[in-house]
Structure 1
């Protein structure tokens, strides 16, 4: 596939838009129903942490602006959803749930900034340690993403149906991963680790949109 910066950024921007708005249906669903029953708080919390690691990876790799913005925006909204889980499911006050969500954002954001400043000198110098550090961030993000799905899979298996999950949310999640993958295709060098992360986003949530569980 020929290098095409315009296609790379256009596809990345489409993925950015989809991933920015994708979790809004889930946030709205929880708010409208005044309930997060069936939605695992571990799913959105681990996804929020995962996006912090992926954010550090994309910044260090300088992938492209849309793909750098993606994990930061999605991670923040995932933590908003986690705050809803604390409020509706955890029976915490609105103030406490809001402070918990904000505190998680600041903690993850601070950790990401610290990681970037710590790893960047070695990575820019071309050292093997710096390269391994950046690779670890990308792989660790993928591991956290999958781990976040496990308690939700258990919840679906226990109920034998999808409850509390916005199917529009999961559908947009997969579309965002697809456009992000396509964006990487038009780079001068395909980023395998980032591509793996986006492919996992496409493949893993399919259980939530499967006809077998939509009953």
Structure 2
């Protein structure tokens, strides 16, 4: 064998190198795909944050409200427009504002419903607030449905307001009916998850108010149909709108007091407040802009329920935001706060301590 013979090189290292060159590329492609899917999932999660996120961080709030605005604007662009508005281009703008308000207010009910379902309890949520909510939206649904569909009511309205166009739109009707259904579901969750326990038992005065208004709301149209006239149908609807205004003015107070007593907003979803604030601002903007376009402010005075509904909601939403993000910001981060600060649980806790103290005293004796 010649000493100058060059050794043959094996092809195996080439195969290894070739496979080794492919594996990093495959891993890079897989990693890129995973990153893309992760980012898409993250973006989707942030857009759906009103119903999936309970940390309510600033980025999730921004993208969540942005997604609601985009969906509402698209819906308003596709839905039928209010032909009574004189400016064709503004009809599209008004519809987009109105349906964004509808989406914001409509979605605002879901975070609380989902939160109650996940926690399997409604502790932290005022039963008085929920009961009044059902009554208020029942009145508001009847009010909007009648003004939007009843020819007789529309005739009475034009006679009373000098042929001014009615500012109730289809998004108002959809919002009122949808809100009544979701408010009823939330109220039923109280009975299903917690029953009539101490925190969930409404005050008697509120129960009496709900009962009296419900009887009058049913009795008035029955007497009208029986031939006993006590006024016009429009006056009856204004009475219901007045009830809605009273309910909106008072329904938040029990929840504000409950948050104050517990020194926490745990159990009360802040997302419903953020969305409610968004809807309240857009609600009043649409009413004002519609009246400006029609050059007739009777659109505001003739639809007081819509105006005050937005104003009162905005004021109380600001109070809840101050409670959540400022007054009780530190206590909301406590994991067991819902058990520690709930009045019912606290009462049981003190009772248990008393029993332990008595047992210790008996042992000492």
TM-score scaled by structure 1? Answer: 0.77
For residues 60-71 of structure 1, the aligned pairs below 5 Å read: 60-62=146-148, 63-71=168-176
Q: Is contact 2:283–2:306 with CA below 8 Å preserved after alignment? A: no
Per the alignment, in what secondary structure is the counterpart of residue 66 of structure 1? helix
| Equivalent of 1:5 in 70, 91, 101 | 91
Moved over 4 A (4+): 111-120
Asked whether the equivalents of residues 98 and 282 of structure 2 are also in contact (C-alpha less than 8 Å), the reply is yes
1:213 aligns with 328
Give, in angstroms, the shift of residue 128 of structure 1. Answer: 6.5
Q: 2:251 aligns with which of 148, 154, 165?
A: 148
* Counterpart among 79, 85, 88 of residue 193 in structure 2: 88
> What is the CA–CA distance in structure 1 between the aligned matches of 2:221 and 2:97, rounded to whole Å?
26
Closer/same/farther in 2, CA of residues 199 and 46 from structure 1, 3 Å limit: same
**CA distance in 2 between partners of 1:59 and 1:117 (Å):** 18
Cα displacement (A) at 1:88: 1.8
> Per-residue CA shift, 1:3-49, capped at 9, x if unaligned?
63322222111111112211111111111111211101221121111
Distance 1:119 1:29, change over 3 A: farther
Give the equivalent residue in structure 1 for 2:119: 33
Show the counterpart of 1:168: 271
1:84 deviates by 1.2
Q: Equivalent residue for 1:201?
A: 313
Q: Distance in 1 between matches of 2:282 and 2:258?
A: 29
For structure 1, the 5+ residue unaligned runs are 93-107, 121-126
What CA distance in whole angstroms lies between the structure 2 residues aligned with 1:179 and 1:170? 14
Residue in structure 1 matched with residue 283 of structure 2 by the alignment: 180
**Alpha-carbon displacement from aligned partner over 1:144-190 (angstroms, at most 9, x marks no partner):** 12332222122112112212111011111111122222221214322
Flag the 1:85–1:22 CA change in 2: closer, same or farther, 3 A: same
Distance 2:217 2:185 in 1: 18
Alignment pair present for 1:16 and 2:94: no
Structure 1 vs Structure 2 CA RMSD: 3.1
Q: Give the one of 130, 133, 139 matched to 1:47.
A: 133
Return the structure number with greater relative CO, CA threshold 8 A, min gap 6.
1
The aligned residue for residue 77 of structure 1 is 182
Q: 1:206, 1:119 → 2: CA distance?
A: 42
Q: Which residue of 1 aligns with 2:236?
A: 133
Number of residue pairs aligned between Structure 1 and Structure 2: 194
Alpha carbons 1:30, 1:36 under 8 Å: kept: yes
Segments of structure 2 that go 5 or more residues without pairing to the other structure are: 1-85, 149-167, 198-212, 331-365
